[in-house]
């Protein structure tokens, strides 16, 4: 099992290009199935969740070739409509293949997505929306069997919660369904807009992506296209946390400022100075950081749940108290016990975590238990005094491309052993 070994308390400097977004790449890879043709995707991160999606595409009979960060996918010869359990369990967001497989094959068979490390993550919103679109879904022994003999039909779908995955699955099912589908209370994340942009360039008729109501006029078929994935706003904010806790000045290239509107104020309240110029962000961290007082995770454009863990490491070494309220997922405080092993002072009560900043963290051996928790431990280790070993880095590799390489280039002392 690999570990990361970090010798902390080093200042960082230099510039880094932020990788492409994991949460955009995954649904867009699934969406290529609708094109029955070749798609070229630029800026795809080299991370294990993307590799898991590629394994699913290949199992289904599609071809996928990687040239550095470019993926060339051809789904013309897709020959199956089922996904076996071991592939479904490698990546929880594999459920995103449901809508596209039914849209293309009129049937789909897969198990419930696996490995849920953030507490229960039901898919009831996905299933009830797809049922509204004329799909007959049987759920038995953890298996989903879906049939739409007469194809998919458009529907008016009001989501009770703006679920990202459900919004994406409905969009993917609706683009080639008969009629006009209207999704209200849709998720508004930038990754939804990226998916819509990809689908529109394949010939889909979609309006309203990024707003609460999305309207999709079904078309007969889509064609292949080329598309560049948006930068990963969560990786950008993790790197900002790395700079902040090490009192460093770094430059992030390829960042979209409007995707970080709820993130930037947190860093500014901490005392960091942030300047943007044409997609280039400079962040400069002061010697003494201040706590951000209150951070509540919310659907976009609110503060993202995915940034809660890395920014908690920043709060752990900032002066004063920061209160976190995690509104999106249960069990998303697994990093807290590990941060406390590094000397952080954090108390959790249900969805609330109270962080009382300490002067410094001290090294220890810690274990990552989920993706963003792993990122939080790297942030903390960068500012902890001494040598910290982080196990469970498979989680980190699900979403961060060569993170130790990126940080080494910025001057960190971090090695994978
Ligand atoms: C996506 C992101 C993930 C991010 C999350 C919230 C991807 C691949 N993953 O996950 O990184 O943390 O959005 O921004 O894009 N829910 C239900 N029923 C459903 C669907 C969701 O109750 O059918 C609940 C979930 O349990 C959770 C909340 O809704 O509590 C948010 O989930 P959702 O927005 O669907 O997140 P994901 O799409 O799974």
Q: What percent of the chain has pLDDT over 70?
A: 98
Mean pLDDT of 240-257: 97
pLDDT of residue 218: 97
Q: Give the model's confidence band at 314: pLDDT under 50 very low, under 70 low, under 90 confident, else very high.
A: very high
Mean pLDDT of 320-346: 95
Domains and CATH numbers, the chain: 3-18+232-416 (3.65.10.10), 22-228 (3.65.10.10)
pLDDT of residue 141: 84
The answer, yes or no, to whether any atom of ligand 1 lies below 6 A from the CB of 91, is: no
How far CA 196 is from CA of 28, 103, 209, 214, 221, in Å, comes to 9, 16, 6, 10, 15
Average pLDDT value over all residues in the chain: 95
How far CA 211 is from CA of 102, 196, 300, in Å, comes to 26, 12, 10
Q: How many other C-beta atoms can be found within 10 angstroms of the C-beta atom of residue 339?
A: 28
- β pairing state of 70-74 and 249-253: unpaired
Is residue 47 predicted with pLDDT exceeding 60? yes
pLDDT of residue 390: 98
Residue nearest to atom 34 of ligand 1 (CA): 163
SS (H, E, C) 310-371: HHHHHHHCCECEEEEECCCCCCCCCHHHHHHHCCCEEEEECCEEEEECCCCCECCEEECCCH
> 385 preceded by cis ω (within 30°)?
no
Mean pLDDT of 54-82: 97
Q: 336 alpha carbon to ligand 1 midpoint, in Å?
A: 21
pLDDT of residue 90: 85
The answer, yes or no, to whether any atom of ligand 1 lies below 6 A from the CB of 119, is: no
The answer, yes or no, to whether any atom of ligand 1 lies below 6 A from the CB of 125, is: yes
Q: Give the model's confidence band at 354: pLDDT under 50 very low, under 70 low, under 90 confident, else very high.
A: very high
Q: 291 alpha carbon to ligand 1 midpoint, in Å?
A: 28
Is residue 117 predicted with pLDDT exceeding 90? no
Q: Give the model's confidence band at 200: pLDDT under 50 very low, under 70 low, under 90 confident, else very high.
A: very high
The answer, yes or no, to whether any atom of ligand 1 lies below 6 A from the CB of 52, is: no
Q: What percent of the chain has pLDDT over 90?
A: 91
Is residue 120 predicted with pLDDT exceeding 70? no
Residue located via tokens 């078929």:
221
Most confident among 124-128, 137-141, 143-147, 213-217 (mean pLDDT) = 213-217
DSSP-assigned states of every residue in 125-144: HHHHHHHHTT-EEEEETTEE
pLDDT of residue 231: 98
Is residue 115 predicted with pLDDT exceeding 80? no
Residue scoring higher pLDDT (236 or 139): 236
- Bridge partner list, 144: 110, 139
The answer, yes or no, to whether any atom of ligand 1 lies below 6 A from the CB of 166, is: yes
Q: 232 alpha carbon to ligand 1 midpoint, in Å?
A: 17
pLDDT of residue 364: 95
Q: 14 alpha carbon to ligand 1 midpoint, in Å?
A: 34
Catalytic residue among 39, 116, 146, 383: 116
Residue pLDDT, tens place only, 369-403 = 999 999 999 999 999 999 999 999 999 999 999 99
Residue pLDDT, tens place only, 265-299 = 999 999 999 999 988 999 999 999 999 889 999 99
pLDDT of residue 42: 98
Q: Give the model's confidence band at 118: pLDDT under 50 very low, under 70 low, under 90 confident, else very high.
A: low
The answer, yes or no, to whether any atom of ligand 1 lies below 6 A from the CB of 26, is: yes
Residue scoring higher pLDDT (142 or 7): 7
Torsion of CA 139, 145, 151, 155, to 10 degrees: 20
Mean pLDDT of 333-349: 97
Across 182-194, b (16+ Cβ under 10 Å) vs e yields bbebbbbbbbbbb
Known catalytic membership, residue 105: no
pLDDT of residue 93: 86
Mean pLDDT of 205-219: 98
């Amino acid at each position: 099992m690999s570990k990361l070994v970090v010798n902390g308390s080093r200042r960082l400097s230099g510039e880094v290009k932020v990788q492409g977004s994991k949460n955009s790449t995954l649904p867009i890879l699934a969406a290529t199935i609708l094109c029955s043709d070749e798609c070229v995707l630029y800026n795809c991160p080299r991370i294990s969740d993307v590799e898991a999606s590629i394994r699913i595409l290949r199992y289904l009979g599609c071809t996928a070739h990687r040239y550095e960060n470019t993926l060339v996918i051809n789904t013309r010869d897709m020959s199956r409509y089922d996904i076996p359990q071991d592939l479904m369990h490698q990546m929880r967001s594999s459920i995103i293949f449901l809508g596209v497989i039914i849209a293309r094959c009129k049937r789909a068979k897969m198990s419930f997505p696996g490995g849920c490390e953030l507490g229960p993550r039901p898919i009831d919103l996905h299933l009830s929306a797809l049922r509204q679109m004329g799909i007959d879904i049987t759920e038995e022994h953890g298996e989903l069997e879906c049939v739409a003999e007469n194809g998919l039909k458009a529907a008016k779908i009001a989501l009770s919660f703006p679920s990202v995955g459900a919004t994406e699955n409905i969009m993917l099912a609706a683009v080639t369904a008969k009629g006009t589908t209207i999704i209200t209370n849709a998720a508004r994340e930038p990754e939804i807009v990226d998916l819509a942009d990809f689908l529109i360039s394949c010939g889909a008729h979609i309006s309203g992506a990024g707003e609460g109501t999305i309207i999709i006029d079904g078309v007969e078929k889509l064609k292949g296209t080329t598309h560049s994935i948006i930068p990963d706003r969560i990786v950008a904010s993790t790197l900002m946390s790395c700079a902040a806790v090490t009192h460093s000045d770094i430059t992030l290239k390829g960042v979209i400022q409007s995707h970080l509107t709820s993130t930037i104020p947190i860093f500014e309240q901490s005392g960091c100075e942030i300047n943007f110029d044409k997609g280039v962000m400079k962040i400069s961290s002061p010697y003494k950081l201040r706590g951000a007082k209150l951070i509540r995770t919310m659907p976009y454009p609110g503060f993202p749940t995915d940034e809660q863990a890395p920014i908690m490491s920043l709060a752990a070494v900032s002066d004063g108290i920061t209160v976190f309220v995690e509104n999106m997922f249960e069990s998303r405080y697994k990093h807290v016990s590990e941060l406390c092993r590094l000397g952080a002072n954090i108390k959790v009560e249900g969805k609330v975590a109270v962080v009382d900043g300490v002067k410094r963290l001290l090294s220890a051996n810690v274990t990552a238990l989920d993706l963003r928790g792993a990122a939080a431990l790297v942030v903390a280790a960068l500012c902890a005094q001494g040598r910290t070993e982080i196990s469970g880095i498979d989680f980190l590799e699900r979403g961060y491309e060569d993170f130790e390489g990126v940080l080494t280039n910025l001057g960190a002392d971090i090695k994978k052993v």
